[in-house]
Structure 1
Amino acid sequence: MDIKFKDFEGPLDLLLHLVSKYEVDIYDVPLVEVIEQYLSYIATLQAMKLEVAGEYMVMASQLMLIKSRRLLPKLVEDTSYEDDLEVDLLNQIEEYKRFKALGEELAAQHDQRAKFYSKAKTEVLSEDMELVHDKTVVDLFLAFSKVMSSRQSTLNDKHTTVEADQYRIEDMMVYIEERFDRKHQLTLSDLFSESRSRAEMLTIFLASLELIKRHILCVQQEDNFGEIILTKEGA
């Protein structure tokens, strides 16, 4: 099974996606929360053995520095340096937002002009998966990153040895459907409540994506970064 997550155009594109969820001015967002979501996203990509470009890791190191300085006791001589780091980051996101909006406007104009000229037919193939209720795989993936991050310490305490991969996506699809036979509605975190390892959580997540892709499950999310709610189609 080949599942393709949305490809961000770079670390600033990912940060802009996270920041825009708060629907406030960029300079008013809770920066530490945004940093934690970015780091969780990258950590989950690595856990799933997906390739992470070097530029994302460079940004991650910068964000970890900002976060650590936020959490450390304030020192008078370091305050201006810390503020400079944060303001510089927010300025970069703001500038990227302007250029992206300009690029989208130019693309829209190109599409409009294309209506008045004939051109050869092209076939566009896309593996991107759109979820119902205007949710995308990114929303589901970010929610999963949050769940995995919150359970990481518990899993580390319970398992001190490296276990072999022993879970199949097909088996987990059957397991998830059986869960819905007993209950009409489940949250994403409910699915992982009985998970005993990170490998099991990853397999359940991929199995749930496949069920969504096949329109067996549908997805809802009432608030930005809120709990993901799964229901069975036709139930």
Structure 2
Amino acid sequence: MPQVVDHVAVARLYGEPLFAMPSDLYIPPDALEVFLEAFEGPLDLLLYLIRKQNFNILDIPMAGVTRQYLVYVDEIRNHNLELAAEYLLMAAMLIEIKSRMLLPPKPVPEGEEPEDPRAELVRRLLEYEQMKLAGARLNAMPHFGRDFLRAQVYIEQSLQPRFPEVHVVELQEAWRDILKRAKLVQHHRITREELSVREYMSKVLRALQGRRFVEFEELFEPEKGSTVLVVTFIALLELAKETLIEITQAEAFAPIYVRLAYTPA
């Protein structure tokens, strides 16, 4: 490190002061490239050329504007061919408009004005300028996080919490809701009644004992419920299956009779 105290270091390299540029320092040619104007597309460049020279956008001098436009396109072609492709498309459109203006206008019916080759380009430029100005106005507005931050203040309060008052009507409504839920949640126990088919078979045989015929309906006891009726009917079927009783009917829709099966002495 040179013994220089009065000189100011031009840079710092790995934390150490550097008082002179290295003789073998290599800087690539593209590293110091400077762009004086940045455009967002062909319309932006074209609008810049028109407004910079105070041209009337409704009466564009195509020769001068096209010449200046092509100069800029030649510059960017040397550095970025992909970017230049979009600008070349607009250049072709300018040249086409310029050539159409050199040709004699097409005949039109009397009372109508001939079509201006620049009309479509002027329409696109005016629409683009409106969008650009609207974007600039939006960008000029204060943006949260860029131009200002939201102030946040935290105040600790050790006050006793104050709860809202409850009216009597609200308590009544809450009580009614509790009663409704209580009615929906009720418990009941279901017990199974033990009935024996064999027991009812014996009861039927005792009812038929000593009688020639008994009507079918007399053997049932409706007052004891449907369960007893079902068991009694099953008992009759079992007795008929075992040929212990006979079920007879004189004719269709006639009364049905039940009797003990005949057994020879």
TM tier relative to shorter chain: 0.3 to 0.5
Structure with greater helix share of residues: 1
TM-score scaled by structure 1? Answer: 0.42
**Greater relative contact order: 1 or 2 (C-alpha under 8 angstroms, separation 6 or more)?**
1
